[in-house]
Structure formats: C-alpha cells, structure tokens
Chain A
C-alpha cells in the first residue's frame, strides 16, 4: 500500500484541484483521504454519498461542578491559559481558552472539576464518483486540534484500502507546517508539492520541504500558474534541482481550474484535451517514481 500525499504550504495553489484530478485518473484503484480537515473541499469535486459517518472526539475540556466548588481558587492559580475565569462570583471555564491539560482537575481538593471529551467533528466513509471510496471529515468550527482527526482519516483510509485490496491512497494534505501537516505526512511513500511562482509560494514551499526532509520522504513538485512570474518559476526549478525534488511539470495560469470547480468537476473531466494530458503526464511520473 502506497500513500501519495499532496501538500502545498501556501493555500490557493491548486492543491485540491490536482489531488482530485489524480484521484479521478486513478479511478477504482485509488482510495482518497481528504486530510485538509480545516477546509475540506475535495467532496465538492468527487461527490461523496456520505455513506457512513461517525462523531469524532478530541482533547478534553474542564468543567467545574459549582455544587462541589468551595471557591478556594487553586484551579485559577494553576491555569496557564486564563481559562478559569470569575463570572458572577463563581469560577467557570472559558471553553475557547481551555487546553484540556487537566492540571486544574488534578489540584482541585474537592474533586469538583471533570475533564470531559470534546466532540470536535465528524468523519465519513463515502462512495465517490470514481467508483472508489473516500474518507473525509468535517471539523467543528473553533475546534482545538485537527492533527488527531487527520490521523483518524488516514487510518480509516488505510483500513479501507486493506479491505478492498487497493494499492494506492491519495491524500489531500493540510496547509501550514504544524501538527496537521505532520500527521498528513506520516507514512507517505511520496509527497507531491504544489506551488505557485510567487514569493510567498516559493517561501512556503521551502518551509514545508524542510518538514518533508525530516521524514526522509521522496518528493516531487508541480509549479502551477507558472507564467505569472517567469523569474520565480526559474528560481523554483533551480531549487528543485538542488534539493533533488522531482520536477513534475509546470501548469499555466488557467481559468479552466476555476471553471471546472464551479461545475463540480475535476479538471480532467472538464477538459479532455491539453490540460488532461498534462495532468496525466504528472500522474505517470508520480506512478513511475513510487514503483
């Protein structure tokens, strides 16, 4: 089983559009995992049926039982997150500040504080239009930790791949360089970096690639919108060469990405000609690289 993880560092580079297009080309043989749980968009292109769903709990939230509380103030003293606040003469927990560290509940002499698990989203196993299966999730707004949900989505996708005897998983990864991306990268056979030739795109590419290197994972890169800045495109290509990152091709700034999305289609469905051919070329290179 091989996991191909598509990430970008910076948002808006076309990561999800390309990941969905690869999923479409892979068809029945490819299980899809949408690990961009903060802004999960892949379902807009792959039309899942939300067949199975399950609630997801992550982290803890302290709750004070006012009947037991003697107002000794120990919890308020130890909390580093200003989550224990005095309201109308009682101590209460501000749920947006509480990190769920459990310190207050441990020091409370009256046993008045309980750490309760927090429902922070849902995850789904769906049939999609490629004839395959996608595992995806919806994070509750303001939820604390998406890394755990990413881990969950990936594990379920592996399970599905195992059951159905499929060899490939395509993962739409999270943006940034923090915990959710680290979870996205775990176990990857190959990483596809999608970037654009802007100073920010290049900057974020370098940051996220440092992270990929930490995990010793092979990487390739697609430069999208390559014609908006030829100079930066050149700089990025040089960087790819120096860093031994496989160059998976340049795409031009192309309205068809938006047009396809607006119709709920992957770019390879929307355009049967040059664009499709180009995506196929990149996909073949990826397949070749992981053999």
Chain B
C-alpha cells in the first residue's frame, strides 16, 4: 500500500499529517515514511532513530576530454538545457542544469564527453521501532529535483521492509516533482485548509490528480478557521473528505518544536483514527 500525502499549497500541514500518521500506524504495523520534498525536506526534523544509511547521491553528467575533442560544436547544439556550451576553445559543462539525458555524450563523434557521476544530494535512512524513515535531500543550487526523487523511490522499492505501508511526503505544487513523487501511489491524500488560498490551490491539485488518474481524498486542516467553501467544493465535485483536523494553536506550537501532535491533542488523534479506519475499510486490513 502506497499513500502519498500532497498539497497544492505549501504550509497546509502536509508534513505534520505524514509524520503523525506514520507514528500512529507504526504503533501496530510496519511503516516506511519517505520525504520526497527534496528541496525542503522537513519530516526528518520530527524523527529520531538509528541511522541505517547516510550516503551521497549522484547523477550522471558529461565530462569534457580536451585531448579527444575537435571542437565540432555538436554537443552544445544538442543540449536543450544549455548545460553544455563552447567558450572559445573550451567546452564547459554545467552540472546543475544537466538533465542527464546522455544526448551530448552519445552523439559526440569523438567520444569526448563520457558520462561521470556528480553529487546532487544525500539519502538518509533511519529506523525506530516499526518505523523506517527515508529522506532525499538536494544540494543547494541543484535545480533538478526529479532525478533525486526517482533515486529515492528506487531505494524505497529495494529496501522497504516486507509488507510495510509506504507513506510519502510529497513536494508542494503541481509540477513535475509532484508528478514524479505521486505516479506510483495507490492513493493520494491532498491536505488543504479552509481559506481562499487553500481552495484555489486544492483545485489545481485536483486537476493534476485527475490528469494523472490517481484516486485521492482530501484532509481539511485547521478546520474552524476561514469558511466552508472547501467543503462545498468537495461536495460538488464528489471528493471524499477523509477528516477535518480542528484549528488549534496547540498543534502549531507542538509542530514548531518538532513534536508529534496526536498524543497531546485528542481531536487530532480522532481525525487520524478516522483516516486510518477509512483506509482500512477501503483498502482492506491486509493492504494496510
């Protein structure tokens, strides 16, 4: 069972939900939580565990072999991302811009641009009790999130404990990193808040989920503030609202200190229980 927790807008409580749901589920089952918001990974701030792995992650980039190069210029013509340019008698490669498509390397008639690994970030794996936690973290200035998301997912496929539920904290927004984080999900939880910003960004997220044909439900966070427009929208669009987490300053305070909230805020606990029991009913005890 693979559940991705996403949101159109940032700061709606995506990470809070992912972390708390993971802890709660881990009380009785095997869980692996992954932070795929590689530009700003935050779930790790809430997890203490033993380090299973911490390693650098690489992507492949071309490396110029000056002695083999005839300066024919094909490489810079091929690269759609301006990651390879010719400066006078020099070929320069810009690792942050490279999409690792191999085109320049493969099409170089002199084999003067072999592909070599270049660090783009790190991957960390922690374990505490039934809970495994995996984080991808992009280096600052690295512009391509997708390759690291892809590698982190591959790691999850290879290293998830048998029968573990996979929970994923996705990047915010609706562009390619979200698609990559979401594409192999069985179910997507969209977290939003009952404000005009929340509604507007939820609509975009819903369009995206429909575009990639994912089944999804909504968790309404900070319920009680703002207005009922999100609920009305979900009703009109036939979108299941899995839970309403009440607006409570205490949650913001606990979150700010990097603490799980459900043990101290009974209403939050109740909302999480609702989500779990719905998932149980719908996807079956076995899947969960």
Hey, which bits of chain A sit against chain B, CB under 8 A?
Answer: 9-13, 16, 38-39, 41, 44, 59-60, 78, 80-81, 96, 99-103, 106-107, 139, 141-147, 175-179, 182, 196-201, 203-204, 207, 210-211, 214, 225, 228-229, 232, 253, 255, 258, 261-262, 264
Contact = CB atoms under 8 A, between A and B. Distances in A.
Nearest to B252: A228
A107 B258 CA distance: 51
Contacts of A143: 174-176
B18 to A, nearest CB: 12
Nearest to A211: B140
Contact of B10 (A100, A106, A175, A264): A175
A181 B31 CA distance: 33
B175 to A, nearest CB: 5
Given A12-B13, A144-B175, A255-B225, 13 more contacts: A9-B40, A11-B10, A44-B196, A78-B106, A101-B101, A103-B102, A103-B103, A145-B175, A177-B138, A178-B177, A199-B42, A228-B253, A229-B257
B11 A11 contact: yes
A175 B40 CA distance: 9
Contacts of B100: 80
Interface residues of B, number: 57
A149 to B, nearest CB: 10
Interface in B12-43: 12-13, 15, 39-40, 42
Contacts of A103: 78, 101-103, 106-107
Given A38-B175, A41-B200, A12 B78 contact: no
Contact of A225 (B40, B103, B138, B252): B252
Contacts of A255: 225
A10 B99 contact: no
A38 B80 contact: no
A38 B11 contact: no
26 contacts: A39-B173, A78-B106, A101-B81, A103-B101, A107-B106, A141-B211, A142-B176, A145-B175, A175-B173, A177-B39, A177-B141, A178-B39, A178-B138, A178-B143, A178-B144, A179-B143, A199-B257, A200-B15, A201-B256, A207-B140, A211-B140, A211-B141, A225-B252, A229-B256, A255-B225, A262-B227
Contacts of A201: 256
A261 B207 CA distance: 23
A9 B179 CA distance: 20
A210 B139 CA distance: 11
A239 B273 CA distance: 39
Given A142-B211, A199-B258, A258-B225, A12 B107 contact: no
B255 A198 contact: yes
Contacts of A147: 143
Contact of B256 (A182, A196, A210): A196
A264 B212 CA distance: 32
Contact of A253 (B140, B226, B249): B249
B176 A38 contact: no
A11 B99 CA distance: 27
Given A38-B173, A60-B80, A214-B141, A11 B9 contact: yes
A123 to B, nearest CB: 16
B45 interface: yes
Nearest to B60: A80
Contacts of A210: 140
B86 interface: no
A62 to B, nearest CB: 11
Contact of A16 (B197, B204, B227): B197
B226 A228 contact: no
B45 A199 contact: yes
Contacts of B258: 198-199
Given A141-B211, A144-B175, A261-B195, A11 B225 contact: no
Nearest to B257: A229
B235 to A, nearest CB: 19
Interface in B192-210: 195-197, 200-201, 204, 207-208
A138 to B, nearest CB: 9
Contact of A39 (B10, B99, B255): B10
Contacts of A228: 249, 252-253, 256
B145 A178 contact: yes
B217 interface: no
Q: Which of B40, B45, B257: most chain A CB closer than 10 A? A: B40
B45 A203 contact: yes
Interface in B77-121: 78, 80-81, 99-103, 106-107
B44 to A, nearest CB: 9
Contacts of A38: 8, 172-175
B40 A41 contact: no
Contacts of B240: none
Of B174, B179, B201, B211, chain A has the most CB atoms within 10 Å of the CB of B174
Contacts of A101: 80-81, 99, 101, 103
